[in-house]
């Protein structure tokens, strides 16, 4: 009897070896496609546009040979942690996290086992995802949405020559927001301006923080902070009550009511991310691919907001993309 059991066990092990009993092999054998996991930190226009670009690039590269599993973290890091761990356990071929908190979750869960190609991480070095932008040095790389804050300040001064105090709402635990805040403070001093910052712990803090900040400043400037962007309507309401404008970080925020922005094209950023992911899926080591950025920005101005605030658009920005407010 013992010999029979031993033979059966041996046959089972051999069968598993040829059939592929590991999680990753099972995932591939079920569909025969590459498994691409996308973790989007939450749903707002900037991150949605990132996904559009990622999806386009993956489909261009692999057609129906790749299967994209897009999951939403609902702006909750614990949820992103769970999603990432599940993707690693199932042996996904690559994980593409969108936004810094999702990237941190994916990087931690993968532990180098699954390549990570992040999208829209403003400061991946500060987030401890890579050793440097030029040489990431791990199984992780991606794209950065670092903002052109110099151009943004110059736009602010052109539209509001008398403005002195720039208000900023930011999440204290978001590395990208802290990095942008430090950059803005340094640049603002060079232009004779002061940054007044109000930190928040989470989305629920934004209404009170905006209410407190708006009366103290000449304008509010948004970064790519997910908690703030996801509560942009509230920020705009508080700014409106104080009679001051809000400046965005990309076109969708301006369409929602911000006065202006030196905007990044987040669809293009997502597409570049997908192209890098395709390189990795085709065999290149993620750690050998430099982190990419979108260098060019486009000035965008909301004519409705300008009219409401009695702000004259200077000649320098007559070539800017003009939009009007569209309520969701």
Question: Residue 90's pLDDT is what?
Answer: 97
Residues 171 and 204 reside in one and the same domain: yes
3-state secondary structure of 314: coil
Tokens of 41: 């930190």
Q: Is the pLDDT of residue 14 over 50?
A: no
CA 79, CA 54: separation in Å to the nearest integer?
A: 21
In a domain, 191, yes or no: yes
3-state secondary structure of 159: helix
Q: Is the pLDDT of residue 315 over 90?
A: yes
CA 274, CA 311: separation in Å to the nearest integer?
A: 40
Structural domain tally of the chain? 2
CA 273, CA 56: separation in Å to the nearest integer?
A: 10
Question: Residue 13's pLDDT is what?
Answer: 38
Residue 299's H or E segment, with its range, is strand 298-302
pTM above 0.85, yes or no: no
Higher pLDDT, 17 or 321: 321
Residues 225 and 309 reside in one and the same domain: yes
Residues 187 and 319 reside in one and the same domain: yes
- Measured N-to-C along each axis, helices 266-281 and 45-62 cross at an angle, to the nearest 10 degrees, of 40
Burial class (CB in 10 A: 0-12, 13-18, 19+), 175: buried
Instruction: Give the least confident one: 29-33, 91-95, 313-317.
Output: 29-33
State residue 57 phi and psi, 5-degree precision: -65, -40
In a domain, 248, yes or no: yes
Higher pLDDT, 103 or 295: 103
CA 303, CA 260: separation in Å to the nearest integer?
A: 9
- List helix spans (H) across 32-142: 45-62, 77-89, 100-110
Averaged pLDDT for residues 294-321: 94
Task: Give the end-to-end CA distance of the chain in Å, rounded to a whole number.
Answer: 71
Q: Is the pLDDT of residue 2 over 90?
A: no
234-287 per-position pLDDT tens digit: 999 999 999 999 999 999 999 999 999 999 899 999 999 999 999 999 999 999
CA 295, CA 290: separation in Å to the nearest integer?
A: 14
State what percent of residues in the chain have pLDDT above 90: 83
Residues 173 and 235 reside in one and the same domain: yes
Averaged pLDDT for residues 292-319: 94
154-205 per-position pLDDT tens digit: 999 999 999 999 999 999 998 889 999 999 999 999 999 999 999 999 999 9
In a domain, 27, yes or no: no
> Which residues form the domain of 225?
149-263+297-323
Residues 77 and 189 reside in one and the same domain: no
Averaged pLDDT for residues 79-97: 98
- Are the beta carbons of 261 and 254 closer than 8 angstroms? yes
Q: CATH number, domain at 244?
A: 3.40.50.2300
Question: Residue 154's pLDDT is what?
Answer: 97
236-249 per-position pLDDT tens digit: 999 999 999 999 99
- Are the beta carbons of 122 and 147 closer than 8 angstroms? yes
Question: Residue 29's pLDDT is what?
Answer: 36
Residue 12: pLDDT band (50, 70, 90) is: very low
Residues 39 and 186 reside in one and the same domain: no
Question: Residue 188's pLDDT is what?
Answer: 97
Averaged pLDDT for residues 98-104: 96
Residues 228 and 277 reside in one and the same domain: no
Question: Residue 184's pLDDT is what?
Answer: 97
Question: Residue 30's pLDDT is what?
Answer: 61
Residues 303 and 273 reside in one and the same domain: no
CA 315, CA 55: separation in Å to the nearest integer?
A: 38
CA triple 251-224-227, angle to 5 deg: 115
Q: What number of other Cβ atoms are within 10 A of residue 66's Cβ?
A: 19
In a domain, 173, yes or no: yes
In a domain, 51, yes or no: yes
Mean pLDDT of all residues belonging to the chain: 90
Question: Residue 216's pLDDT is what?
Answer: 98
Tokens of 272: 């570049």
Question: Residue 224's pLDDT is what?
Answer: 87
In a domain, 107, yes or no: yes
Q: Is the pLDDT of residue 92 over 80?
A: yes
Question: Checking phi first, is residue 301 left (phi over 0); if not, alpha (psi -120 to 50) or beta?
Answer: beta
Residues 319 and 238 reside in one and the same domain: yes
Residues 141 and 275 reside in one and the same domain: yes
Residues 126 and 272 reside in one and the same domain: yes
In a domain, 328, yes or no: no
In a domain, 217, yes or no: yes
Q: Which residue has the tokens 């923080």?
A: 209
Averaged pLDDT for residues 94-99: 98
3-state secondary structure of 1: coil
Residues 93 and 196 reside in one and the same domain: no
Question: Residue 37's pLDDT is what?
Answer: 98
State what percent of residues in the chain have pLDDT above 70: 90
């Amino acid at each position: 009897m013992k010999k029979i059991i031993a033979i059966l066990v041996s046959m089972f092990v051999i069968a598993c070896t040829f059939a592929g009993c590991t999680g990753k092999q099972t995932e591939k054998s079920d569909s025969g496609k590459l498994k691409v996991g996308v973790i989007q930190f939450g749903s707002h226009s900037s991150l949605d546009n990132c996904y559009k670009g990622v999806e386009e690039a993956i489909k261009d590269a692999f057609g129906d040979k790749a299967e994209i599993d897009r999951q939403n973290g609902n702006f909750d890091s614990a949820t992103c942690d769970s999603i990432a761990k599940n993707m690693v356990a199932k042996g996904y071929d690559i994980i593409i996290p969108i936004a810094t908190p999702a990237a941190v979750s994916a990087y931690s869960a993968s532990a180098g086992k699954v390549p990570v190609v992040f999208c829209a991480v403003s400061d991946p070095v500060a987030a401890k995802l890579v050793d440097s932008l030029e040489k990431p040095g791990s199984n992780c790389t991606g794209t950065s949405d670092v903002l052109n804050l110099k151009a943004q300040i110059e736009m602010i001064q052109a539209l509001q020559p008398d403005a002195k105090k720039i208000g900023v709402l930011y999440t204290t635990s978001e590395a990208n927001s802290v990095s942008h805040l430090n950059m803005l403070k340094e640049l603002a001093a060079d232009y004779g301006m002061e940054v007044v910052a109000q930190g928040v712990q989470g989305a629920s803090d934004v209404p009170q923080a905006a209410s407190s900040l708006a009366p103290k400043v000449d304008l509010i400037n948004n970064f790519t902070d997910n908690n703030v962007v996801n509560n942009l309507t509230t920020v705009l309401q508080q700014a409106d009550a104080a009679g001051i404008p809000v400046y965005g970080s990309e076109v969708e925020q301006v369409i929602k009511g911000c006065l202006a922005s030196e905007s990044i094209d987040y669809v293009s950023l997502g597409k570049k991310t997908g192209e890098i992911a395709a390189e990795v899926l085709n065999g290149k080591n993620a750690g050998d691919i430099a982190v990419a950025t979108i260098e060019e920005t486009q000035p965008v101005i909301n004519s409705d907001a300008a009219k409401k605030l009695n702000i004259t658009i200077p000649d320098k920005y007559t070539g800017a993309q003009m939009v009007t407010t569209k309520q969701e």
